[in-house]
Amino acid sequence: FFTPNSQFYRVDTDLVVPQVSPESWTLRIDGMVRSPFEITFAELLRMPLTEADVTLVCVSNQVGGPYAGNARWLGAPLATLLRRAAVKAGADQVLSSSTDGMTISTPLSTILDGRNALVAVGMNGQPLPVVHGFPARLVVPGLYGYVSATKWLTRLTVTTFASQQAYWTRRGYAARAPVKTESRIDVPKPLAQVPAGRVPVAGVAWAPHRGISAVEVSVDN
């Protein structure tokens, strides 16, 4: 049920993957907060860390497509960091920035509602791979990647949707993007010819932050 790190999908805006030294990396939290602060990688690792199994999905994933993966993430709870910064009333967005200049907007309410939103430093029992955002990235369950999964994270700005827009929202994408319930059939493989008689059907379904209670299969449209 876990996607190996080497097979986990990637959607990058960089031709060359950023190489960030953990010794010089910092995460700044500012904007509509009473106590802005900056934290080093060593300080982040000293925080109480949480493990969470979270499925990530790209909004451009087609039916049966490859842009979905499930991993066990290790990281610092994002809500804890925001509470330390003391968010001011009226804020509704966290604008996250990558070292490469990419920006992603996340609804503040989805970070503070109890789900396992993380500043992740580990993936499937290993340090976070460089191609997946080392030293640290965002993981917010239940949201498509373009509003939740900033890699090579370096800044969190608490703000409002009305005052600041992220990279994709400036291009007409929805600002709030909950993952839709989806499923995929892996067996039989697409367009496979199967013998007459009983045919096993297997696959996976996902509804991050909501969960799957049952799956129904139709063979006659």
pLDDT value for 72? 98
> Which two structure tokens, joined as six digits, stand for 10?
């990637």
Q: Which of 115, 105, 108 is nearest to 88 (CA)?
A: 108
pLDDT value for 12? 82
From CA 162, how far away is CA 204, in angstroms rounded?
A: 37
Q: In 165-220, which ranges are E strands?
A: 182-187, 202-206
pLDDT value for 162? 95
Can you give the pLDDT of all 221 residues of the chain as single tens digits? 899 999 999 998 788 999 999 999 999 999 999 999 999 999 999 999 999 999 999 999 987 788 999 999 999 999 999 999 999 999 999 999 999 999 999 999 999 999 999 999 999 999 999 999 999 999 999 999 999 999 999 999 999 999 999 999 999 999 989 999 988 888 998 889 999 999 999 988 999 888 899 998 888 87
The secondary structure of 120-160 as a DSSP string is EEEETTEEPPGGGTTT-EEE-TTB-GGGT--SSEEEEEEE-
From CA 198, how far away is CA 168, in angstroms rounded?
A: 46
Q: In the chain, which ranges are E strands?
A: 26-31, 37-40, 50-57, 68-77, 93-98, 103-107, 118-123, 126-127, 137-139, 153-159, 182-187, 202-206
From CA 49, how far away is CA 57, in angstroms rounded?
A: 23
